A and B are shown apart, each in its own frame.
Chain A
Amino acid sequence: MKERQGSVEENREIASGYFSLIVSGDFPTSSPGQFAMVSVSDTFEPFLRRPFGIADQGNNWIRFIYKVQGRGTELLSRLKKGEVLSLITPLGKGFFMEKGRVLLVAGGTGIAPLLYLAQNFEEFVLLYGAKTKSALLREEVEKIIGKAHSLIYTTEDGSYGLKGLLTSHIPEEKFSMAYVAGPYKMMKEFSRIYSGEAQFSFEERMGCGFGVCYSCVVRVKREGKEEYVRSCKEGPVFFGKEVVWI
């Protein structure tokens, strides 16, 4: 992990309120599930960087997909091509790769790290849910979907794909691993229903992203003992069997 400057190559609205940000620069290589801390302001307003999962990376570029939520992402969305920003990347531990047919489960912006992860599998089923049709990044998803893959879309209002919560449409099939990224509530519900082995990518509120402040903890059970561990260091990806859902 290093703090590096990069310049905006693309910062494009791919769906209403959702942006694809490509930053060019010499960034150390990452693995899927890892994230970056991105500067959103040259002033102290806001003060902290913002964490984003890495959505793709290549030679001299890195990509993020983000949704405008509040002040930080709003500022980010105004960046123009050529503007400079600072990244600390790659951070945290990414997904543990399993062989065989896997299930990818994305809720909302949880799709970002899974697009990166998906490139590693020959066979997968992607279960991808959002509130409405306009929040489904279908174009991004369909770029990476090949013949051996299948795709289940869900929307809460039924405006596209299956209607209802993503967790009411979990396939019955057995997978070697499920990879889950999205809101805490969705992941918790998924873990309650799904009995197979699963890895979850957490989005905890972060102060630093590199392990010094202990803001970002997730509760886990290890060797029979419950404890808080830093999701920016030991996560953001955790195995379902060790997570203590709160």
Chain B
Amino acid sequence: MDLKVKVAGIELQNPIILASGTAGYGVELEPFMDLSKLGGISVKGLYPYPREGNPTPRIWEAPCGIINSIGLQGIGMERFAEEYLPELSKQKTAIFINACGEQDEEYFRVAEFFDPYEEVSAIELNLSCPNVREEGNCPALWPDWSYKIVKWTKQSTRKPIIAKLSPNTSSMVEVASACKEAGADALSLVNTYLAMAVDFRTRRSRLSTLFGGLSGPAIKPLSLRAVYQVASSLDIDVIGIGGITRGEDLLEFLLVGAKAVQIGSITLREPAAAIRILNEAVSLMKKEGYNSFKEITGRLNIV
């Protein structure tokens, strides 16, 4: 069976990518699975500099999911390149850098910094983290803001640029379209849904911040819809993310138009879930008589 897929001009050995922020810097998962069996890994969000993140509590459980407010704690691009990239690049899998910025030019700096690293396959611009600005604001809520960042960073590197979008806007398709126009090679969606959890006894938020981001199986139907809307309105590669926990979920995301998918929260519960999901998808395809993932992508029948 042909497991290969092509997304943003890169060939992946299969459509499974570990989502950013739920797989650390990749190497933390080495004890649990053979990372070389994955299509790719999107590492934890990186700024040009180390970043402290939000105070605790940073996580709260929601029905069939979690709400997080990590706030992009991270060691910064330089330390990542020195301390983790050499080890991670021994794995035969595509490495995606999840680039973050407080100022717009910081996305540019991260993308530019990784340009010389052959082992990095693509830059995924995190335009959509809801936990670092006031009230969940982020570039991916605004077509103009997203356009500007994508356009700029496109000039900083020869690597493909993937814009990671937010579902917390009614203009998601416009934002997607702006990113495409600005030269994005692919889009990944979705990031977490802006959410809240409060304790009526203490009358406080359950998190250190007022809002957090909801992820996990709870959001799957929402993200499936988001992926469908974007993939069916624009001619650009889409990576589907949100609540994927089984092989069948993966195939559903492909069906509505995704070229590949990312596996997020389920990894926290089951560190080797990505491999299980791949195996399940492959046996389902065999059973239904498909020979490649490409035969499924975008083939939803609409009456």
Q: Report the separation of the CA atoms of residues A211 and B65 in the bound assembly, to the nearest whole angstrom.
A: 19
- Please tell me which stretch of A44-52, A99-107, A165-173 contacts chain B, meaning at least 4 of its Cβ atoms lie within 8 angstroms of it: A44-52
The number of chain B residues with a CB under 8 A from chain A is 36
A3 with B58: CB separation less than 8 A:
no
Q: Tell me, rounded to whole Å, the shortest Cβ–Cβ distance linking B46 to chain A.
A: 13
Q: Report the separation of the CA atoms of residues A34 and B202 in the bound assembly, to the nearest whole angstrom.
A: 32
B70 with A44: CB separation less than 8 A:
no
Nearest chain A residue, comparing its CB with the CB of B63: A45
Q: Report the separation of the CA atoms of residues A49 and B271 in the bound assembly, to the nearest whole angstrom.
A: 11
Q: A1-B31, A48-B61 are in contact. Are A207 and B68 (CB under 8 A)?
A: yes
- Please tell me which stretch of B48-56, B157-165, B224-232, B252-260 contacts chain A, meaning at least 4 of its Cβ atoms lie within 8 angstroms of it: B48-56
Q: Which residues of B have CB within 8 Å of A204?
A: 56
A47 with B56: CB separation less than 8 A:
no
Q: Restricting to B31-78, which residues have a CB under 8 Å from any CB of A? A: 31-32, 44, 52-53, 55-66, 68, 70, 73
Q: Tell me, rounded to whole Å, the shortest Cβ–Cβ distance linking B90 to chain A.
A: 19
Q: Which residues of B have CB within 8 Å of A228?
A: 52-53, 73
B23 with A2: CB separation less than 8 A:
no
- Please tell me which stretch of B91-99, B134-142, B183-191, B262-270 contacts chain A, meaning at least 4 of its Cβ atoms lie within 8 angstroms of it: B262-270
A48 with B53: CB separation less than 8 A:
no
Q: Report the separation of the CA atoms of residues A1 and B30 in the bound assembly, to the nearest whole angstrom.
A: 11
Q: Which residues of B have CB within 8 Å of A39?
A: 269
Q: A212-B23, A213-B70 are in contact. Are A47 and B52 (CB under 8 A)?
A: no
The reply on A26 being an interface residue by CB < 8 A is no
Q: Report the separation of the CA atoms of residues A44 and B246 in the bound assembly, to the nearest whole angstrom.
A: 12
Q: Tell me, rounded to whole Å, the shortest Cβ–Cβ distance linking B22 to chain A.
A: 6
The reply on A208 being an interface residue by CB < 8 A is yes
Q: Tell me, rounded to whole Å, the shortest Cβ–Cβ distance linking A90 to chain B.
A: 11
Q: CB < 8 Å: which of A46, A205, A211 contacts B24? A: A211
Nearest chain A residue, comparing its CB with the CB of B18: A212
Q: A45-B64, A215-B59 are in contact. Are A210 and B269 (CB under 8 A)?
A: no
The reply on A227 being an interface residue by CB < 8 A is yes
Q: Which residues of B have CB within 8 Å of A47?
A: 61-62, 64-66, 216-217, 265, 269
Q: Restricting to A26-50, which residues have a CB under 8 Å from any CB of B? A: 39, 44-49
Q: CB < 8 Å: which of A1, A49, A211, A217 contacts B269? A: A49
Interchain Cβ contacts within 8 Å, total number = 95
A44 with B58: CB separation less than 8 A:
no
Q: Tell me, rounded to whole Å, the shortest Cβ–Cβ distance linking A172 to chain B.
A: 34
Q: Tell me, rounded to whole Å, the shortest Cβ–Cβ distance linking A3 to chain B.
A: 6
Q: Which residues of A have CB within 8 Å of B29?
A: 210, 212
The reply on A246 being an interface residue by CB < 8 A is yes
Q: Which residues of B have CB within 8 Å of A2?
A: 31-32
Chain A contact residues, majority secondary structure: loop
B217 with A212: CB separation less than 8 A:
no
B58 with A210: CB separation less than 8 A:
no
Q: Report the separation of the CA atoms of residues A28 and B31 in the bound assembly, to the nearest whole angstrom.
A: 13
The reply on B245 being an interface residue by CB < 8 A is yes
Q: Tell me, rounded to whole Å, the shortest Cβ–Cβ distance linking A243 to chain B.
A: 13
Q: Report the separation of the CA atoms of residues A1 and B271 in the bound assembly, to the nearest whole angstrom.
A: 11
B28 with A210: CB separation less than 8 A:
yes
The reply on B272 being an interface residue by CB < 8 A is yes
A3 with B271: CB separation less than 8 A:
yes
The reply on A175 being an interface residue by CB < 8 A is no
B64 with A48: CB separation less than 8 A:
no
The reply on B143 being an interface residue by CB < 8 A is no
Q: CB < 8 Å: which of A3, A45, A217 contacts B56? A: A217
A214 with B70: CB separation less than 8 A:
yes
Residue among A45, A205, A216 with max Cβ neighbours from chain B (10 Å): A205
Q: Tell me, rounded to whole Å, the shortest Cβ–Cβ distance linking B124 to chain A.
A: 17
Q: List 8 A-B contacts (CB under 8 A).
A: A3-B272, A47-B62, A48-B268, A210-B29, A213-B22, A213-B24, A213-B70, A246-B55
Closest 9 CB pairs of A and B: A212-B24, A215-B59, A208-B268, A44-B64, A211-B28, A207-B268, A215-B58, A207-B59, A44-B217
Q: Knowing that A207-B268, A208-B22, A233-B28 are A-B contacts, what are 11 other residue pairs whose CB atoms are under 8 Å apart, sorted by A's residue number?
A: A44-B216, A47-B269, A205-B57, A207-B59, A212-B23, A213-B21, A214-B24, A215-B58, A217-B73, A227-B52, A228-B52
Residue numbers of A with Cβ under 8 A of B are 1-3, 39, 44-49, 88, 204-208, 210-217, 227-228, 233, 246
